[in-house]
Amino acid sequence: MYDTIHLEIRECDLDTPISFIEEIPCYMDIDKKSSTDGKIVCWLENIKIEIAGTTLRIKGSLTKWYKNNNIYGLEFNEVEKVIKGLGKVIGVPLEKAKVKRIDIAQTFKMKYEPQLYFSKLYYLKGFSRSDINVTSLYFNKESKRKNGDNLQLCLYDKNVELSNSNGYPLVDRFVNLLRYEFRIKNPKYIFKREIRCFELFSGDFYRELIKLWYDMYNSIEKRLESLEDYCEINLNGKKDLYETCLRLCVMAFDMEREVDIASKKGKVTAQNKSNVLKKIKEIKEELKKSSPALSMIDELNDKVRDEYKRQEEEVKRAMNH
């Protein structure tokens, strides 16, 4: 589930120091437009390589570099091979690099268009919510301090991104793809220590990350805002509308009490009171027997939970081999 990472390593961190400025440009072309007198910029496909003096910075999506797309994330058992392979191509071992950013992400196939789910993800304490673009939703936490608590949860329509970047025909364009990314923009603050690249291979550290990814999603307050979130809705005609409104009314209010109040005011005869109470009882019995419809937010909750459990099992299998 790793996606974008930012790594930083100095020449003195290497067991066998090399000159980044002299060695790395031998493996790839220099981006002359982006480079300056104090910084050399190179590209390895989607991976940005920056050399400033004796410091090397690497930024980009591991998944895109390895799989040519990031529709679905790297599995845990692929991570070490991918990072060591990247280091080999660049010509620098990356195990001791500091991890300056980690994105944990996964894409889900949904029943409906992704943006229909966003309004139900209502509030996250300590975070600002932004849905200016209808195809994406952000929860941001930005510290005023340079090395503060910078986190971001992003949920967006992956199909839109794919269509804008010629990502088809990697997937069927009619499949609804919702992506959830948890972006840790300052790992040192979150984990109270410097994180080194070799820790990304650790099963214990990976478990800690996916637990954080899962817990952050669960911390979002959800809200039900459509009728279908409460009960099965059928609006295919006047009779269906009437029956649906009756069910919703019985669910929303204490109708037995309302009938009793109306009876005491003389608005309901004894016979009609008996018939109405009988009807209310029938509706309640039907509601008890009927399986509650799976709401849209329940669908997304289940997808996130199932992926977390799957990742836990994946780590367990990898560690047992």
Name which of 31-40, 92-101, 172-181, 185-194 the model is least confident about: 172-181
> Which has more pLDDT, 263 or 216?
216
Say what the pLDDT of residue 299 is. 93
Which one is predicted more confidently, 228 or 200?
Answer: 200
Task: Give 231's pLDDT tier (boundaries 50, 70, 90).
Answer: low
How does pLDDT run across 40-60, given as a tens digit for each residue?
Answer: 999 999 999 999 999 999 999
Q: pLDDT tens digit string along 129-151? A: 998 788 999 999 977 666 666 89
Q: What is the DSSP letter of 39?
A: B
Q: Any idea where the domains of the chain sit in the sequence? A: 62-224+301-320, 227-289
Instruction: Give the pLDDT confidence of 239-278 residue by residue, as tens digits.
Output: 888 887 887 787 777 888 888 888 888 898 988 999 999 9
Tell me the Ramachandran region of residue 53: left when phi exceeds 0, alpha when psi lies from -120 to 50, beta otherwise: left
- As a whole number, the mean pLDDT across the chain is 88
Of 159, 108, 90, which Cα lies nearest the Cα of 308? 108
Find out whether 176 and 158 touch, Cβ atoms under 8 Å: no
pLDDT band at 230 (very low <50, low <70, confident <90, very high): low
Q: What is the pLDDT of residue 256?
A: 86
Length of the chain measured in residues: 321
Position 280 scores a pLDDT of 87
Confidence of residue 232 (pLDDT cuts 50, 70, 90): low
pLDDT score of 182:
98
pLDDT of residue 174: 73
What confidence score (pLDDT) does residue 170 get?
A: 58
Rg (CA), the chain: 27
Residue 165 confidence (pLDDT) above 70: no
CA 170 to chain centre: 20
Predicted pLDDT at 49:
95
What's this model's pTM, rounded to 2 decimal places?
0.78
Residues 6+ apart with CB under 8 A from 99: 5, 6, 7, 187, 195, 196, 197, 199, 200
Output the pLDDT for position 296. Answer: 84
Nearest residue to 72 via CA among 173, 1, 176: 1
Write down the pLDDT at residue 222.
Answer: 87
Locus of tokens 């709401």: 295
Q: From CA 225, how far away is CA 221, in angstroms rounded?
A: 13
For 163, residues 6+ apart whose C-beta sits below 8 A from its C-beta are 173
Query: Residue 136, Cβ neighbours under 10 Å: how many?
Result: 18
275 in the Ramachandran plot: left (φ > 0), alpha (ψ -120 to 50) or beta?
alpha
Q: Over range 185-204, report the average pLDDT.
A: 95
Distance between CA atoms of 109 and 102, rounded to whole angstroms?
Answer: 24
Q: Which residue has the higher pLDDT, 89 or 289?
A: 89
279-310 pLDDT tens trace: 888 888 877 666 555 578 899 999 999 999 99
Q: Is the pLDDT of residue 169 over 80?
A: no
Residue with tokens 């000159």: 19
